[in-house]
Structure 1
């Protein structure tokens, strides 16, 4: 082989070796890149807990049976009216304009008792039969109005005086509620104001009107009396019981409102639990004006959203339990 041929062969070998080294270097650098990406993907999967469905994150599954058992009440978000109100305490009284004291026309001996306390009577019903001391003849002592016998002061065989009522009959279909108004609120309560009386029996309030505001205050309570006349259908209220009354002083309509009991705090955020199927999701909300029952929602909800209005704290507790279990 000539010298020039040997030189050409040597150069060819050097070139081949250089190419192989470059290929090895590129392959050696590329391999860790692919391995790092796989490691990052694996790490991300572990950080996500391996959950492919994100619906469970931040949501609580509660079906109708669980809602009923927990006493969670649902309502629909929509327009509302915020009310500035004044709440007053009072006492239920018989309507004294519908109470009659039945007194014998002539004194005598009670020969019959026809009605007793608690009996319902009609006008003209016989309450008792009395034998007159003057004529020694008997006459009927009758009810002057329809109502309920609320008091009786005579018994069979006793002397009935014409100076003392033997029976008291009251029409309980309407009642008085005497509310105490303190001096700072005198100017805010007027005759004719509508008042919602709460019997505290779980049913809706009874609506009445202020019929009288006393011009004289009480030395004992340092308050004045405002009297409300209310219907008493089904005898929901009874004289002698305490009751509270709420007077609406001003009203403000809002585009969207939810009950105050729906608002919960999570990590410093105000949320409302909105139902989506069987799941409740915490929805961040921004609230505006409030009254004693509702809050205006200016951001975060849409009209028609169904939310946990009553016992929403139960949903919050379930969410906290779910978050704790994910941490483990």
Structure 2
């Protein structure tokens, strides 16, 4: 009976030891089979902080990658902006003579070239000045011939000195009259080429005064019509060369002290297009109605996309500072309330906590945690944040 009892107790003890053995092995780091009964094909868990992704998965998720590097932190202010023609590229074309408008060769919006004839004035004043010049020119030619004849005779002792001196005085007077009539035509804005061509000009055109464009540009105003009487001060056209425009910026008084001549200005146009310019003038007078400072910036406008009179928004870069490592703000994600970037490694992305520095609206400086030259996720980095959150969920 006692022998059977001893045998029974031995069987119970062996069963208890067999049940406890796997736990003891796992507790003390011994090698053994996994608890789920997996074979040698079981995959080892990924290192902590690694998000394993293949190149195909990265491309499918549209995760953009950039290389860390230096940049410039810009502090900027956004202000209202009004586009207007540059005064140095604006011309008001006057008639310059009294008369009647005979032709208006340009319409509103037409392009004009420098020195192109854009209007014609029918003027009696011009006709009188041209006739006076032609008469003076004919008399000058005659007196010149007579003077040269008398000079030759005097040198040959054929004529008296008194006749020679009289011929010279008459020639000098004719030359003076010619110069005065030429000056009058120049005062009426006739060019040297126009004056030289008067001798061959038809009589019917003596009343015509050609009005030429002083600059190249576009007609932005047409101020008269055919048949309308005009004076010398009457304006016919307003021309503007809009390849360069001026923009008035209304800067709040609190920010006016930070604005300097030469600072970059970014103008936000319609359709999402931007234009780069610079501050040219900072006025010292405050506008009483709006309590804003008057700042003027200039912009190149080669394709005339900026239209005079447009009201837009402008960003003035009032302060700039260099940064050794500057990344877009979209690349930084908050993971457990810590700023984190996802660095590209061989097998995917590494979740890395970083220390942030100064920044602006679009970028932020990385002081610690990301070295220049390392590649990191820029676009769609929130996908990596979601994957990192999945890996932290404990398995049942």
> In structure 2, what is the equivalent of residue 254 of structure 1?
323
Taking a change above 3 Å as real, the CA distance of residues 118 and 324 of structure 1, as seen in their structure-2 partners, is farther
Structure scoring higher RCO (CA < 8 A, sep ≥ 6) equals 2
2:118 aligns with one of 116, 127, 138 = 127
> In structure 1, what is the equivalent of residue 20 of structure 2?
33
1:164 aligns with one of 234, 258, 266 = 234
CA distance in 1, matches of 2:327, 2:51: 21
Bigger radius of gyration, 1 or 2? 2
Give 1 or 2: higher helix fraction. Answer: 2
Deviation at 1:162, TM superposition (A): 4.0
2:220 aligns with one of 150, 167, 175 = 150
CA distance in 2, matches of 1:286, 1:160: 74
> C-alpha deviations, 1:13-51, integer Å up to 9, x for none?
x9x999978975663343113455699933597xxxx86
Stretches of 4+ aligned residues off by more than 6 angstroms? 16-23, 37-40, 320-328
What is the SS of the residue equivalent to 2:306? coil
Q: Does 1:115 align with 2:110?
A: no
Deviation at 1:101, TM superposition (A): 0.2
What is the SS of the residue equivalent to 1:224? strand
2:50/2:349 contact within 8 Å kept: no
> In structure 2, what is the equivalent of residue 302 of structure 1?
371
CA distance in 2, matches of 1:35, 1:323: 27
Count of aligned pairs: 302
Q: Equivalent residues in 2 for 1:253-272 (5 A)? A: 253-272=322-341
> In structure 2, what is the equivalent of residue 96 of structure 1?
87
What is the SS of the residue equivalent to 1:292? coil
Q: Does 1:42 align with 2:42?
A: no
1:285/1:297 contact within 8 Å kept: yes
1:139 aligns with one of 209, 231, 242 = 209
Deviation at 1:258, TM superposition (A): 0.8
> C-alpha deviations, 1:253-288, integer Å up to 9, x for none?
332121122222234232224445795554332212
CA distance in 2, matches of 1:118, 1:308: 50
With structure 2 as the length reference, what TM-score do the two structures score? 0.62
Q: Equivalent residues in 2 for 1:1-328 (5 A)? A: 24=11, 27-34=14-21, 36=23, 41-42=34-35, 54=46, 58=51, 62-64=57-59, 66-67=61-62, 73-132=64-123, 135=127, 137-160=207-230, 162-190=232-260, 192-200=261-269, 202=272, 205-208=275-278, 210-241=279-310, 242-251=312-321, 253-276=322-345, 279=348, 282-310=351-379, 312-313=381-382, 315=383, 319=387
Taking a change above 3 Å as real, the CA distance of residues 280 and 137 of structure 1, as seen in their structure-2 partners, is farther
CA distance in 2, matches of 1:238, 1:317: 45
- Structure 2, unpaired ranges of 5+: 27-31, 128-205
CA distance in 1, matches of 2:120, 2:45: 85
What is the SS of the residue equivalent to 2:307? coil
What is the SS of the residue equivalent to 1:176? strand
CA distance in 2, matches of 1:161, 1:306: 72
1:60/1:280 contact within 8 Å kept: yes
Task: Choose 158-167 or 240-249, whichever is displaced more.
Answer: 158-167
1:264/1:316 contact within 8 Å kept: no
1:60/1:281 contact within 8 Å kept: no
